[in-house]
Structure 1
Amino acid sequence: MAGRGGVFRDHHHHDRQQWDGVVPSECQPHPSIHRLDAHLRWVPACEPLHADIDAKKVCGVGPGMAFANKVRECAGEVGLVPCAVGGTAIKEWARGEHLYESMVKRARESVKGGGEMKGLLWYQGESDTSTQHDADAYQGNMVKLIENVRQDLDLPWLPIIQVAIVSGDNKYMEKVREAQLGMEIPNVVCVDAKGLELKDDHLHLTTKSQVQLGHMLADAYLQHFGPSEPNSHAAP
């Protein structure tokens, strides 16, 4: 979710990575899209959305801006609250853990000015595909995460859109995918990343795939949770 689209290994320093700086048209900033930065301030949103959040790694294009640009056409103002940290296992998002508490704090802060929390986008799980124990525990951990977030934000029906992973350790990837695609919880929807193109690292999505995923997330959001009244400008 933090976005590694366009991040490549520096040819001179193999241990170093850099972002190519390419921002597709679908990910361009827009006056009605804002992001909550690491200091809990609203700033204009632009790629890389997670630059100051997943700060220990090089961030590039993720699905967030493509999602926001598609949703804003129906929703008007959009506030993004990036919280992702790449390479984290779901147990690191348990209640009481730093990542979880930080996410809840940021979410609470984001609505203080009068906004409304409209949904949570969740794309994670590759780190849980290496051992049978982690893969078996994934579904229970994810159910718990959803319960915790809804309880702590006092939003029992908070919409959640999860991405079924497309990479990771082949040993238990299918097990984690099954858990993601099989969540039978109200207001939890899953989009499948299968078929999206991966970078040469066979782990992260390319910039182009990140845009596609952002659009899939937006379509799922608008279809399941979008404004229910028919849009006057929409063709029948």
Structure 2
Amino acid sequence: MFLLFLSACNAAAAAAAADDDGLEIFILSGQSNMSGRGGLQSKRGADGSMHKVWDGIVPQECDAEPGSILRLTATLEWEEAHDPLHHDIDTAKPTGVGPGLVFAASLLRSRDSVAKSEEKQPRKKPAIGLVPCAVGGTTMSEWKKGQFLYDRMIQRTKVAIEKGGTLKALLWYQGESDTTSNALGASFGSKLATFLQDVRTDLQSPDFPIIQVGIQWGHHPHPAILEEVRQAQRAAADPSKHVYIVDALGLPLQSDNLHLTTEAQTTLGLMLVEKYNIHFLSS
């Protein structure tokens, strides 16, 4: 499969920006492709009904030293991170592999590689704290300030910080649900802009990086609306304001033409690492 290799200078810049102590907090939020549907397969139950189950296959890119990556549980406790990261957050449907664990493990490897090349001591562990918040099938209206999903995301992030972490970035993958009607598509851009501003205000972090994922949907019934949402996502990206975008267009999809495969989620995780490290190189 396609592998994205981080440049040494990018990884060094990100490592220099990292704290020596405490967790680096990354919010994982949006809808199902951030939550993770990679590796879900149809299985027939004892009663003859079909349902989705995760195949249990974890990409090798998720490998990390024990205790180096934690996730905040639904009960606001830190535990060892493992896929599916959103199993107790996005509970209405089965979850599988998303981009979050690949991102975290690959970020640590890039830093360890730089430290080794510069003969530095490896970072103290644990290093990264992931805060899963994504829920499948949700629209931008459900991520409005004052709504349950938005308020829970802010609360979970604040708890993570209070437990001894430093907010580093929001990884945001949402928009498919807003391509299902003209009204949703037309209002998507303004809602996204308000969301991005509210997140920074409520977390008191006006400049922290936000990396959004440009959506795709194969054989979409309303391609014009899909493109309208994608254009709004691109318009929201502004590196001078530390808002970035990576594009999922062209990554392999499952048979539903909507959800990324495990291979695609792995590639996306690496793309997110590259964009995150470029942020530090250009800041």
| Shared fold, TM over 0.5 | yes
What secondary structure is seen at the aligned counterpart in 2 of 1:106? helix
Further displaced range: 153-162 or 74-83: 74-83
Matched letter for residue 175 of structure 1: E
* Cα deviation 1:72-118 (Å, max 9, x = unaligned): 23285111000000111111000010000000000000011221000
What secondary structure is seen at the aligned counterpart in 2 of 1:154? coil
Distance of 1:198 and 1:28 partners within structure 2? 24
Q: Is 1:52 the equivalent of 2:107?
A: no
Distance of 1:227 and 1:119 partners within structure 2? 15
Residue of structure 2 in register with 1:3 after alignment: 36
Query: Compared with structure 1, are the counterparts of its residues 130 and 115 closer, same or farther at alpha carbon in structure 2 (3 Å cutoff)?
Result: same
Specify which of 163, 166, 174 is matched with residue 213 of structure 2.
163
Query: Compared with structure 1, are the counterparts of its residues 92 and 82 closer, same or farther at alpha carbon in structure 2 (3 Å cutoff)?
Result: same
Residue of structure 1 in register with 2:236 after alignment: 183
* Cα deviation 1:172-220 (Å, max 9, x = unaligned): 1111111111214411000001110000111100000000000001110
Aligned partners of 1:129 and 1:176 also within 8 Å: yes
Residue of structure 1 in register with 2:271 after alignment: 216
Asked which structure has the greater RCO (Cα within 8 Å, sep 6+), the reply is 2
Residue of structure 2 in register with 1:204 after alignment: 259
Distance of 2:69 and 2:187 partners within structure 1? 36
* Cα deviation 1:124-182 (Å, max 9, x = unaligned): 11100011111111111111001111111111112100000011744111111111112
Residue of structure 1 in register with 2:54 after alignment: 19
Count of aligned positions: 228
* 1:81-92 aligned within 5 A: 81-92=131-142
Specify which of 177, 185, 189 is matched with residue 135 of structure 1.
185
Aligned partners of 2:44 and 2:50 also within 8 Å: no
Distance of 1:226 and 1:92 partners within structure 2? 34
Aligned partners of 2:217 and 2:258 also within 8 Å: yes
What secondary structure is seen at the aligned counterpart in 1 of 2:162? coil
Distance of 1:45 and 1:227 partners within structure 2? 30
Residue of structure 1 in register with 2:158 after alignment: 108
Question: Higher helix fraction: Structure 1 or Structure 2?
Answer: 2
Query: Compared with structure 1, are the counterparts of its residues 226 and 18 closer, same or farther at alpha carbon in structure 2 (3 Å cutoff)?
Result: farther
Aligned partners of 1:6 and 1:207 also within 8 Å: yes
Q: CA RMSD for the aligned pairs?
A: 1.7
Question: Higher strand fraction: Structure 1 or Structure 2?
Answer: 2
Specify which of 114, 119, 133 is matched with residue 169 of structure 2.
119
TM-score, normalised with respect to structure 2 = 0.77
What secondary structure is seen at the aligned counterpart in 1 of 2:71? strand
Specify which of 249, 256, 268 is matched with residue 194 of structure 1.
249
Residue of structure 2 in register with 1:174 after alignment: 227
Distance of 2:140 and 2:39 partners within structure 1? 25
Q: Choose 1 or 2 for highest CA Rg.
A: 2
Structure 1 segments of 4+ aligned residues over 2 angstroms from their partners: 11-15, 28-31, 73-76, 225-228
Further displaced range: 13-22 or 1-10: 13-22
TM-score, normalised with respect to structure 1 = 0.92
